[in-house]
A and B are shown apart, each in its own frame.
Chain A
Amino acid sequence: MGSISTIGLNDLIEDLSALAALPDSVIDEMLTAQADIIEPAQRRTMQAMWAGPYRTGATAGAVKRTKIRSGKDGRYLSIYPHGTNADGNRNAEVAFINEFGKRNQPARPAIDTANKSKTEEAISAAAKVYNAFVESKNL
């Protein structure tokens, strides 16, 4: 009776299993690569779009990323203006009003504009990290 033998099948299975269970360290690296693009883009766009007599630059300067956390949809981080300004108002609240406007104050959607203009670049940065991981598995 004939038989078939393979070499390296177990290694391949292990590599594919590792790929299927993407390590948190790789996900974190992907998120960080995206944040490295989005965070400065938000800051720049806020500075450009939120110009005016009352601008202090505090809101744009307060844009930071959170630590990476785990949620029901996986790992994530958030980027938004942290803290409060000199008037005691939350920088995130000031950003919300600028972004969406209010009666007698036109909206100036800097955050949405920054995110959309950098979407492709951020995806490419994350894909680069992912591809490097795949290549490290010889796949």
Chain B
Amino acid sequence: MLNKRLMAALSPIAPTQADEYTPDEGLGADDTYIVFNYNSIPVDYGDDAPGHEVYSVQVHLFCPSGVNSLPMRRQIKKALLAAGFTWPAYINASDKDGQHHVFECQTAQAAEAEVE
């Protein structure tokens, strides 16, 4: 469910994968892509079991230096909000290898909901 929500929200902006980017077989690596990862914290306990889980999500946009990434960064923020995530905090983690923009947001879902 969470993976699907993130893929649906982010794939229209750039090629998107969970955790680590690996190019599709037979295709060259994209120089612009998005990866996401998340961790969860159980909340709303009752009878020793959590009612919900709060997911802390990181979305990473990688692209070459010199590219104007501002439109994509705006799109990512709006897409996350539209998909039910909190408006993300933004960290610029770019280095000598290129641009790396990190968006951190949260969402919650029932503890028994499927992650996929």
Whether B39 lies near A113 (C-beta < 8 A) is: yes
Contact digits for A86-114, partner B, Cβ 8 Å, 1 yes 0 no: 00000000001000111110110100110
Number of interface residues of B (CB under 8 A): 20
Q: Is A116 an interface residue (CB 8 A)?
A: yes
B100, closest chain A residue (CB): A102
Q: Is B110 an interface residue (CB 8 A)?
A: no
Q: A116–B19 Cα gap in the complex (Å)?
A: 20
Of B3-11, B54-62, B68-76, B77-85, the one touching chain A: B54-62
Q: Is B95 an interface residue (CB 8 A)?
A: yes
**What is the size category of the interface that chain A forms with chain B?**
10 to 19
Q: Contacting A100 at CB < 8 Å: which of B21, B98, B102?
A: B102
Q: Is A78 an interface residue (CB 8 A)?
A: no
Q: A104–B98 Cα gap in the complex (Å)?
A: 12
Whether A102 lies near B95 (C-beta < 8 A) is: yes
Tell me whether A112 and B56 are in contact in the complex, defined as CB-CB below 8 angstroms, given that A103-B62, A107-B37 are known contacts: yes
**Using Cβ atoms and an 8 Å threshold, which residues of chain A touch B54?**
116
> Which A residues form the contact surface with B (CB < 8 A)?
96, 100-104, 106-107, 109, 112-113, 116-117
Instruction: Name 5 A/B residue pairs within 8 A (Cβ), A-sorted.
Output: A100-B60, A102-B95, A102-B97, A103-B97, A116-B41
